[in-house]
Amino acid sequence: MKITLLGSLGTINRIVIPRLVQANHQVTVVTTTPQRQAAIEALGAHAAVGTMQDGAFLAQTFTGQDVVYLMLSGGVGDDPFTSAEAQAQIWKRALVTAGVRNVVNLSSVGADADEVAGSLHAYNLIEGILKTIPHLNLAFVRPTGFYANLFANLATIQADHAIYANNAPDLEQAYVAPVDIADVVLPLLTATPAGISVHYAFSDTFTGQDFLQALRPALNLPDLKWVQISDEQYLENLTAHGVPAKIAAALVQTSHYQRHPEQVYADLKARHTPAGHVKLADFVQTYVAAYRGQGDHHAHTLAD
């Protein structure tokens, strides 16, 4: 099969690309960075250098492909919703022009909700636009929050032995590792279901308190604590670190949405989604390495 992937050498593609190449698929990887061309080709894939905003480039790259994998990457400007809609329209035009019949789109949990989901509403907008493409087999992959988002707490753990959050430590949330997302994405790329389908990915579910209890002995920080801050303090911290006002407000709204896991994960549970393989105990080992400065670990959010 001829398969084109957006997302360059991101954490998921680093797993997906070698597996596809080993299965003798012809893989094209879109990257905005010419310096990554050699690394992509070293994996056995072809590098297509260009931007996601260049519709003509995408249409040309998508032409003749059996399946295309779409995902948001890079900055979203000052308005995540306007940017998401604009990007989805570019994708739509390129897919239609190229005559693509199979698409796998990396979306997000919360894409089934409206503005109540805050920043995650961007994925709802993207899904809505892609659904209007006629005669398209379209598989949405909706991962839960990435384990990597927890790396945002490394600095305060090191400085204050504390995790600051505007949600309570007993709030249960689902997290996912890239390898468990890849395990969902791969079979959809090679055999995209007919019509529109939705597929979730998560690895484990735990509370902030569970995270603390696992980290304390692993980091040898028995005094590690959870400090709950107000929504106002969270918003001020975001804007103080350069997050645009509209994105900051959307992230605060997302934290409100997360306070109702029965809503956030209702569709995931209704589809009887199996958990992946990377559990909290496994991630804690990665977290310890990141705490010690080993490897390249950072949070991934719409604000990045």
Residue 304 confidence (pLDDT): 30
pLDDT (tens digit per residue) in 253-298: 999 999 999 999 999 999 999 999 999 999 999 999 999 998 777 6
Residues 104, 156 within the same domain: no
Residues 123, 191 within the same domain: yes
Residues 248, 234 within the same domain: yes
Residues 225, 189 within the same domain: no
pLDDT averaged over every residue in the chain: 95
Does residue 270 sit within a domain? no
pLDDT (tens digit per residue) in 164-198: 999 999 999 999 999 999 999 999 999 999 999 99
- Which CATH number does the domain housing residue 251 bear? 3.90.25
**235: pLDDT strictly greater than 60:** yes
78 alpha-carbon distance from chain centroid: 19
Domain that holds residue 284: 149-172+204-265+277-292
Measured between alpha carbons, how far is 299 from 304 in angstroms, rounded to an integer? 8
Residue 295 confidence (pLDDT): 75
Instruction: Tell me the two tokens of residue 254.
Output: 């997302």
- Which CATH number does the domain housing residue 116 bear? 3.40.50.720
Measured between alpha carbons, how far is 225 from 94 in angstroms, rounded to an integer? 49
Residues 154, 255 within the same domain: yes
**303: pLDDT strictly greater than 50:** no
248 exposed, middle or buried (CB, 10 Å; 0-12, 13-18, 19+)?
Answer: buried
Residues 191, 51 within the same domain: yes
Q: Specify whether the backbone of 203 is left (phi greater than 0), alpha (psi in -120 to 50) or beta.
A: alpha
- Mean pLDDT to the nearest integer, 155-172: 97
Give all strands (DSSP E) within the chain, no chain letters: 2-5, 26-31, 46-49, 67-70, 102-106, 137-143, 145-146, 162-165, 172-176, 196-201, 204-207, 225-228
pLDDT band per the 50, 70, 90 thresholds, residue 302: very low
Residues 106, 168 within the same domain: no
**24: pLDDT strictly greater than 90:** yes
Residues 71, 24 within the same domain: yes
Residues 213, 136 within the same domain: no
Number of domains in the chain: 2
Does residue 297 sit within a domain? no
